[in-house]
Chain A
């Protein structure tokens, strides 16, 4: 073998530091917000809600990834990183799929699974705990509801305000 030729694959080589290889999701950091799935141009990252099992799935298909690193850019937790790993050739396409299953948060009133995960609520709590106490409790109260319960809570509040206004315009309850 001459001096010019690279002895790869008999000797390992490393990709340069700026190389964007296989995207890797850190399962201990991902909260399942879906920002990456929203940003991914070829839809290599998908978000799937499985209400029957009560989980949200992040499905990363590396065979469709174009290494644009939009996911790394938008991830609020810094969970997605494009590694320098490049030895990805495989005879089976299933080898290139990574799945992360995150538990869905259950509504505190009706107990049905919501569209966000337990980790998303934890993250929001960790941010909101620096706010004043009343504000924190108010956020917590509406945050831990599913979409339907939040809507009915909002409507009942509105109705209450309406009735109060109507009674007020009649000159009070005992007019």
Chain B
């Protein structure tokens, strides 16, 4: 990295090199009163001739290659800071192997700050800018792990498989975000049922009790569906020769 003079107030020019506008909207957010980048001395200017820094978004398409070059050359010779905002500007992102893009602004310009994210939150962009101003320290670090340093224990793989299958079923009803919560509720019911003498019957009555108490009809529906799917899966695993019911009884 080239050494830059310590800056107090950075004037930035926003350059879009073929982005989907996701990152551009986040840059707009940074300038709103809620995030207010101007309190850090960051100001958006309308011409690269006034700019200290370029906020670059987009994977650098072939169309924008020479325009980006012209913008960089129009900037004052110092300090010419380049900030790559978003995954596309950092490395090409999802478009990295397309014939129409060069794959990241670092193919053309020397980059001083990478802000990955698709799109990055306004906080992420502020964090990158603040790092440039020397207000915060870098947090990430490249790491290499080796398997001998970390002990591997395959734990209850069949029961895990069961939960993964049920999670897939749940995704169709309650979506990606809420499924973990609903599944955890169901798992706790299963554990309670398998502590009793007749687990199948106990689980059915427990789920019925739960559904009667639950106010949200969608969760009640999901629970009933999970019960149905659970019984089918347990039967199938048992027929294939896996002692899944014994394993469920041994759960903590």
Complex contact A66–B140 (CB within 8 A): no
In the assembled complex, the CB of B116 is this many whole angstroms from the nearest CB of chain A, namely: 5
Report the Cα distance A4→B34, complex, angstroms: 6
Complex contact A67–B118 (CB within 8 A): yes
A-chain residues with CB within 8 Å of residue B36 when the two chains form the complex: 5-6
> Is A149 part of the contact surface with B, judged by Cβ < 8 Å?
no
Report the Cα distance A64→B1, complex, angstroms: 20
Among A22, A63, A126, A130, the residue within 8 A (CB) of B241 is: A130
Report the Cα distance A4→B39, complex, angstroms: 13
Interface residues on chain B, number (Cβ under 8 Å)? 61
Complex contact A130–B158 (CB within 8 A): yes
The number of inter-chain residue pairs (CB within 8 angstroms) is: 172
Report the Cα distance A38→B225, complex, angstroms: 30
B-chain residues with CB within 8 Å of residue A89 when the two chains form the complex: 113-116, 124-125, 127-128, 131, 138
Complex contact A4–B33 (CB within 8 A): yes
Report the Cα distance A29→B151, complex, angstroms: 9
> Is A9 part of the contact surface with B, judged by Cβ < 8 Å?
yes
Report the Cα distance A42→B104, complex, angstroms: 13
**Segment of A106-114, A116-124, A140-148, A158-166 engaged in the interface with chain B:** A116-124
Given A5-B34, A118-B147, decide whether A94 and B121 contact each other with a Cβ distance below 8 A: no
In the assembled complex, the CB of B31 is this many whole angstroms from the nearest CB of chain A, namely: 12
Complex contact B121–A90 (CB within 8 A): no
Complex contact A126–B131 (CB within 8 A): no
Among B39, B121, B241, the residue within 8 A (CB) of A5 is: B39
Nearest first, the 9 closest Cβ-Cβ pairs linking A and B are: A89-B128, A27-B145, A126-B154, A28-B150, A66-B118, A63-B90, A42-B94, A99-B144, A9-B130
